[in-house]
Each structure stands twice: as structure tokens, then as C-alpha cells.
A and B are shown apart, each in its own frame.
Chain A
Amino acid sequence: MSESTTPHAVENTAVESAAAQAAEHVSKVAPRRAAKTLAEKVWRDHVVRQGEGVGDAAQPDLLYIDLHLIHEVTSPQAFEGLRLAGRPLRRPDLTIATEDHNTPTLAINKPIADLTSRTQIQTLRNNCAEFGVRLHSLGDAEQGIVHVVGPQLGLTQPGMTVVCGDSHTSTHGAVGALAFGIGTSEVEHVMATQTLPLKPFRTMAINVEGTLRPGVSSKDIILAIIAKIGTGGGQGYVLEYRGSAIRALSMDARMTICNMSIEAGARAGMIAPDETTFAYLKGRPHAPVGEEWDAAVEYWKSLTTEDDAEFDTEVFLDANTLEPFVTWGTNPGQGVSLSGSVPFPEDFGDENAKAAAERALAYMDLEAGTPMKEIRVNTVFLGSCTNSRIEDLRAAADIIRGREKDPNIRMMVVPGSARVRLEAEAEGLDKVFLDFGAEWRFAGCSMCLGMNPDQLEPGERCASTSNRNFEGRQGKGGRTHLVSPVVAAATAVRGTLSSPSDLESALTVA
């Protein structure tokens, strides 16, 4: 910690005795290369105790966690574990809960119809009350998808470590935080100790240079990256998205990219904080103010990756030539340009990839060679922690405004948080969606994973702005094509997978 750039104030004797212990411990740990990348710097500033040993025999570091986000699904067994062991929750003031996965998006003032869901929500409420955790319940203006709520409140800030029992915690990396999903045992571990034992991640740079063409968005960037490196390509890495195309993105757009890092196998994805980040954070409820703001910005600016830093791996993507992207299969790596066609299984060299493609085509009921734009869908879902922020809703609304929905399409719009919903209504976006014939729902995870009643019917095909096209993800037998908000909107107009440029004068309207 000695090389940390954080403004430290060491001030009690417990620290001094611990320092003596630490000095003895330091002699047993291996020296690390200097922290030069964003991820390494954030890691360095949170090491409570470096693991002894080297290589495969190395013990994990003990890493301090700045913020623990909780929701109803992955926490009940962790709270129960604390209770059984008679352990307190160490830092309720670094913990926040919201209800999102199970909550209905209609009639939220009525008791939840599904008894198991209702019990799970009630269990979260009881646990938060018992352990003193702040909770934003259904009906609260700050309730919503945990990964929309955290940044919106200004609770996720650059240089922090953020965890949650949800794999899309990587979203918060967009502000320059090291944020990753954890399992329930780890949730309990963080509750009890505010730390996690972890081995350092390897680092991967994802360089995206150039300028996106109209109608192409950050969702297309990340879908193209996943198709390029595969669903396991980022395994063991923390990804850092860099380059002019990333710098040009808004915070909402950056969150979409970091959100899907896990779909490339990486637990975390990050973007270095810059003026866009600071402008986003300034004035948010939990952002620092006054002198603390200035001190914070100074620290945040020190977190960027240095010019001579080396990544373990580098990947390059050209933003200039990128087209809207869409998935055809049953994992997020099975994607193509929207102007392309369903691939032939025999085009995959690897036998296992070929078998996976055959299986995916059977499940998706698609014929190889079919142009993607000829695929007709039944449902359009605009929502999820990937694409349910105000800019996503604005972008989709700009496409559909003044247009007519294909009569056979059902379109569901689910804002990411109650706050986003209020903001959208203040701008009149709700009216745009309702006039178009879309459903305007209350906030939550909704059809992204279909834990609540928002599900696809067997055989139904959906263009979805969510993050996973797994078999049955959005409802048993449902078929999912992952798309951006503007592709979702254009698809709702035409009834087939469509890009905004397929709509006559779409771009002039937008």
C-alpha cells in the first residue's frame, strides 16, 4: 500500500501494531510488477494483505470491497449464513439493496401474485431491516435494476471495488471501478468481512479506434468483440476498453459495453475515468462535493493506464467499419453483422463449434444462409441492465416517433429504474412508446431473464436489448436475438430484424 496515491490518514494505534505484523508478512510475499494499468492501480489500492507464495502456489490477495450491492435472489442464503454463524454484517454503510429480479412490472402497488417471488422479496425486506441495510423497495423512486441504481445515485465511482451477487456487476466498470459478480458464498464473505480473497486478474486491452457510423452503437461494439474473442476469450482477465471510439461514448453507452464483459468470459471490464465520467458524476446524490470533489477528481485522474503499461493481451476493433450487430445463436458469441446471413455450421473449423452451431440453429429454428434481415420476430424487448437507461430509451423513441408499429409485434419497454421511468415521463417518452403501441412498464430485470411474469411463450422469437440469448433464458422455448436499442426499435417498425437505415428517412427523422 505504500505506493498508493490515495490520500491516507493513518491515525490510530491499532494500525501501528498491525503495521508490525504486516512488515513480517511482507517478507514472505513475492514482489509484483509496478501497477501501471487502470485495473492494477485499483487492485493495488485495495490490497489488505498480499497473498504469500508465487505462481500456482500463490495464495490469493485479500481485497477490500468499497461497495456491496444486494438484491433479493442471491442474498437470502448469505444472510442466513451470517445468522447461523452469529456473525454481524460488517459494514452496512458500504452496502445497499434493491429489488429487481423478481419484481412485477405491472400493478406494482398490489401484492406480488407469485407466492415464491413474494416470499423472496419479503425475505430481503426482513433481512435488510434485521441487518441495517438500506433498501430501495418496489414503489420507491430509487428502486430499479441494481446496476442502473448504483451509478445513478453516484455510489459507484472511479477507483472503487464494487461487487454484487450478479454477473453483470461489470457494468460499474464504466466509471473506472473494478466491479465484478460474485456467488452467494462470496456475498456472505463480503457481508462478514468486507473483503474477498482473490488472485490478481490478467489484463486485456480492447482497443476500439475510429468513429461509429450513424445507427451503430456501443451495443454493436460489444457484440462484435464477443463474437471476435468468444464467450471464453476474456476468462481470467479484466478487460480495459480503450481508444478513440470508447472515449467518444457517453456514460450510458460505456455501461452497455462494460455490462457485457462477462459475456466474453471476463468478470470485469473497465474504462478509464475522464471528463465524461466526471461530468456524469458531478451533482449525483452520493458524489463528493466541494474540496472533496476536487480531491476525488485528482485521485481519479491518477488512475489512467500509463503509456508504457503492458497488457497481457491486446485486441483491436475498427469502429469505422462496424455495422449493427445481432446474434443468431444461443450464446452471445454467436453473432453476425445485421447485413449478413445465418452461418453454415460447416464454416466452423472446430468440431465442437460446428456441433454447437448445429444445435443452436435447431433451437433457434433457423436455416443456414438466411439473411438476418429476413428473420421475422414476435416480440421486441427494450430493457435490462444492458440497455434500459435514459439514453437507450431516447434513442429508441427517436426511431419510432411518428412511425407505426408492425401490427404483429408486441413491444415491451421496461425502464431500468423508477428514476429512469420518471425522467422518461418528464420528457414525454412514455407517450411516444404508448402512441406507437408499445407497453410502458415499471422498472426491473423483467424479460431479460423471465423470473417475473414477463416471459416469452415457447417458440416465440424476440429482438432483445438484453445480454443473453441462452436457450430458454427469456422463457421456456423462447428464441432471443440480441440487438441494440435502435435495432430493436427499427425491428418493431418493420417486423423483421432491421437497422435504422432500413427505415425510409430514418436518420433524418432521428
Chain B
Amino acid sequence: MEKFSTHTGIGVPLRQSNVDTDQIIPAVYLKRITRTGFEDALFSSWRKNPEFILNQEPFSRGSVLVAGADFGTGSSREHAVWALKDYGFKAVLSSRFADIFRGNSGKQGLVAAELAQDDIELIWKVLENAPGTEVTVDLESKLVTADTVVVPFHVDDYTRWRLLEGLDDIGLTLRNEPDITAFEATRPAIKPTTLPAKVQLSQA
């Protein structure tokens, strides 16, 4: 994973709450087996509307999405994070994120920065009054800056550390491989296993 310390880019005000993952990327795009190339899929339904914010200049070149509460609700699809990243977003700001979306972001180097709703409103006003205003998301200081607005954001320490260091979760976990092996040795025999299959893998 790429390291993230600070990012500055055009802020995109998305004045909408409950932006679910079906809006971020509709299911039809989930048929792909690749991990990249989802930029066309991002908000694909909304992008058909010329009025949609990402169809407006200079927002189409935005890299910091400033959204309403409960961003990323719904499905667990990590494709939502891939699509945001592939489009060029480096950070999403919201007053509340769905748990799975937030987790997925942290694994992929997209900063899901939690701000107070009042601060989101302030940034929306800045971005709407002066389209093209750049927003800085500083992970070191945990501060967001948009013109004269400088406000704190929350991201948990562990995720922040991993993002700053660009650390791969699997590699970190495998450092504790002896613990896993030891735990496995103590697992009760009554727990089920999928193999051998106790049903016939037959044709219906």
C-alpha cells in the first residue's frame, strides 16, 4: 500500500446523506475480476445527469470528496473504494461512515476522515462559494484545511499509523504466525470443517 501523509486537491461538495455503495458503484460493475479500472463505474448512474457535481468543472478534477452523513452504507463491496481511488479521490470527508466502507478504505489507502457535521457544512459553503478551492487533508496533524476553515478530523490511530507507513495488513498479521498456529492447536474438535464434505457434490 502507498504511504499517505498529506494530500491537497480540489474539494467536491456532495450534499447528500446515505450515499450507499450501490450509488458509488452499481452491482453491474461488480462482474469484473480485476482490481483496477473502475473509474468509469464511479457514481455511474448519477453521472448520466449533466447536473451531477462530477460533471461540473472544476469538480470533475476533484480528489477530496466532502459528503453527507452515513457515507458508504450497504454492501461490503470494496469495489466502491477502488472506484473512488481509480477516479482520483484520495480522501472522503463525512460525519459518519458505514463500518465496512471505512474498513475497506483503510486497507486501500483511501482516507476516510470523520468530521463534525457542522464542519462539513462549513467546508461545503467554502467549496460552493469558490468552486475549485483546494482542500488539504493532513494525516500527520489530523487537520482538514479549506481556505480559512481549519478543522480536525478523526481516524483511529491504528489505521492512521498503517496509512502513514503504507503497511500491508497480511504482512503484519503473519508476524504473529506462531500465535495463530498455537491457537489452532487448541481449537475444539467439535467445531465443524467444510472438508470432507458431508454431502454429495451431486447434480440437482
Partner-B contacts on A (CB < 8 A): 1, 6-12, 14-15, 17-19, 21-22, 48-49, 51, 53, 56-60, 62, 64, 66-67, 73-74, 76-77, 80, 85, 87, 92-96, 101-102, 114, 116-117, 119-120, 123, 134, 136, 139-143, 153-155, 157, 160, 165-167, 169, 181-186, 188-189, 192-195, 197, 199, 231-232, 235-236, 262, 265-267, 285-288, 292, 295-296, 299, 330-331, 352-353, 355-356, 359, 418, 421-422, 449-451, 468, 470-473, 476
Contacts and interface: CB of A to CB of B under 8 A. Distances in A.
B202 A140 contact: yes
B81 A183 contact: yes
B78 interface: yes
Contacts of B187: 64
Interface of B: 15-18, 20, 22-23, 26-28, 30-35, 45, 68-70, 73-79, 81, 96, 98-100, 103-104, 107-108, 117, 156-158, 169-170, 172-174, 176-195, 197-204
| Interface pairs A-B: 8 shortest CB-CB | A18-B182, A185-B107, A183-B104, A183-B78, A76-B33, A181-B76, A116-B31, A184-B78
A476 B77 contact: no
Contact of A85 (B18, B158, B170, B176): B170
B182 A19 contact: yes
26 contacts: A1-B186, A6-B188, A8-B188, A11-B185, A49-B176, A62-B180, A66-B192, A67-B192, A101-B27, A101-B30, A102-B31, A119-B33, A166-B75, A181-B76, A182-B76, A184-B104, A197-B173, A199-B156, A231-B18, A232-B98, A235-B96, A235-B98, A265-B98, A295-B188, A352-B117, A356-B17
Given A292-B190, A451-B31, A195 B178 contact: no
Contact of A192 (B26, B174, B197): B174
Nearest to B97: A235
Contacts of A143: 204
Contact of B100 (A96, A153, A182): A182
Contacts of B96: 232, 235
Contact of B27 (A92, A184, A197, A451): A451
B74 A167 contact: yes
B77 to A, nearest CB: 7
A207 to B, nearest CB: 23
Given A331-B18, A473-B22, A299 B178 contact: no
A142 B75 CA distance: 24
A117 B192 contact: no
Given A60-B158, A73-B30, A265 B70 contact: yes
A302 B185 CA distance: 22
Contacts of A142: 199, 201
A388 to B, nearest CB: 16
Contact of B76 (A49, A60, A120, A165): A165
A1 B16 CA distance: 45
Nearest to B171: A85
Given A186-B103, A189-B170, A476-B45, A470 B20 contact: yes
B100 A450 contact: no
A102 B30 CA distance: 9
Contacts of A85: 170
A9 to B, nearest CB: 7
A195 B173 CA distance: 8
Contact of A141 (B23, B156, B204): B204
A183 B130 CA distance: 36
Contacts of B77: 73-74, 183
Nearest to A154: B192
Contacts of B185: 10-12, 14-15
A295 B73 contact: no
Contacts of B179: 18, 21-22, 48-49, 62
Given A193-B173, A235-B98, A285-B198, A7 B188 contact: yes
Given A14-B185, A471-B23, 15 more contacts: A9-B188, A62-B176, A167-B74, A194-B184, A197-B172, A231-B18, A232-B69, A235-B98, A236-B99, A265-B98, A265-B99, A288-B190, A288-B192, A331-B18, A473-B22
Contacts of A450: 27-28
A120 B88 CA distance: 26
Contacts of B192: 66-67, 154-155, 157, 160, 286-288
Contact of B156 (A56, A193, A232): A56
B85 to A, nearest CB: 12
A352 B69 contact: yes
B98 A166 contact: no
A26 B163 CA distance: 26
B97 to A, nearest CB: 8
A255 to B, nearest CB: 18
A8 B98 contact: no
Contact of A93 (B23, B195, B198): B195
B100 A193 contact: no
Contacts of A472: 22-23, 26, 45
Given A182-B76, A472-B22, A472-B26, A139 B178 contact: no
Contacts of B16: 355-356, 359
